Structure 1
Amino acid sequence: LGPGDKVVTTIAEHHSNFVPWQQLALKTGCQFVCCGLTKDERIDEQAVCDAIDANTKLVAITLLANGLGVMPEIAGIVKAARKVGAKVLVDAAQAAPHLPLDVAALDVDFLAFSGHKLYGPTGVGVLYGRRAELEEIEPIFFGGDMISSVSVAKTEFNSLPYRLEAGTPNIAAVIGLGSAINFVKQLGWDDVQRHEAELVAALEEGLYSVQDLRVLGPRGAHHGLIAFSHPAIHPHDFSQYFDNAGVAVRAGHHCAQPLLKALSLNASTRASVGVYNTLEDISRFVEVLRGGIKYFT
């Protein structure tokens, strides 16, 4: 990448799929293009497609926005990238626990996700890449099984995937992630998606029934999580109230500060659902939500 080249991403990205490309642009002089949201707070897919041109080398986009709970239509974006020979990298960290990941169907060059959002351990994740693309990546860490042979004059690196996995791996976490993946697969993706869709629908119904509550993202488009804010209650205070009541939510900018700024917010409260949640949990959440608003206002 260099001057004249372009990297295209969106305002809804997690910092981990935003800051690296921003910093790469600052270092190399390439253009960093950040596409915004539609009026109903979806990722503006048309703006992404319009930004992709002959100078575009990489399109980096989320599969499920962790600050909104909405999914862009990837297919059209991939098609636009293919027309100009640009590579596509998908951040699937938030999507991984909620839907099966089929890299062949997505037709992407790279896809990454973390272990801890998929009911696995922290400190471990997965990077998928087309073999041809991975072969072009020069190792930046050295030692361990990424080495094939070493002499005073030269070093030969191992074949993939070892050449990109330097040092002693986090063996326990890798085994744990494998077990987590098997756990979800045994549940069955159809059942997981059916169950979570029911939970999210109930969560939406509860949130939209509360006066003065701002729900981020369009109704009916949420997957796995919903973020919200109240004009009179700071999200950190809200989350503490939930915590005191035994309900786990997340408050803050969710490592997506550009997104929150685009929404004219400093922070939000986020409620996520998983395979272990029940409709009773949703009812309890709404009960505590109403109690918190009454307490603070």
Structure 2
Amino acid sequence: MSDMSEIGRLILLGAPLGNPADGSVRLRDVLGVADVVAAEDTRRLTRLARDLGVTVEGRIVSYFEGNEERRTPELVEVLLAGHTVALVTDGGMPSVSDPGYRLVTAAVGAGVPVTAAPGPSAVTTALALSGLPCDRFCFEGFLPRSPGARRARLRALAAEERTLVLFEAPHRIAAALTDLAEAFGADRPAALCRELTKTYEEVLRRPLGELARWAADGEPRGEITLVVAGAPQVAPEPPGPDELRAAVAAREAAGESRRDAVTAVAAEHQLRRRDVYTIVHTG
């Protein structure tokens, strides 16, 4: 796939979360022809290629958290020399709480084209399975490891109205759920998604307090994605009579007729025009 007369290309590969059958045709094609395959775990890559029936012809190098800083400039040199580099993690899309961001940034900075063979994502898979609102959500990745920092972060997120998606390690999930229940309320709906697409896939849809008690009974195994409902929207306090009179007076001072001013103020606060009119005229 290399062309020494042109600049190379970086391709991000979406890898199966657990079930090899989720691997796309493009994933197979790119793995088979890329000049270099940078893998988070070379042993897992070898196993994945075998499961997909693909022979990796290119050079395989490791690319993980411990060697990203050193390996990135090496891979950029390979790209600038006209070679194609494929980046694959243990599961899901590179850069999403996985290695990749540093290399993408460096490649873009060097003028190297970056594209993707998109594939599975634990974030969107868990979100879809959770039964919680999916129209607006935010991804928080892994919470801080230290208890104090974790609780501070959760306090800052407690009023977030969008659905939250989090990753957490099995040995920290009980403590994280306890802190979530304290910060968000034990009744906040949530879904704990474990071992997605694998043989022992499990999705527990329960309030945070129940999930915390469940996790405390025994350390869950496998990779965990947690989906938490956003904070319930709080209706704003309706304006008082004095505030409504002042709003109408301000519009009148700006040149609006009283009729138009009352209509506009009523619409702004979702009130009946007749009620606003009565308040203005009885003030």
TM over 0.5: no
TM-score w.r.t. length of structure 2: 0.34
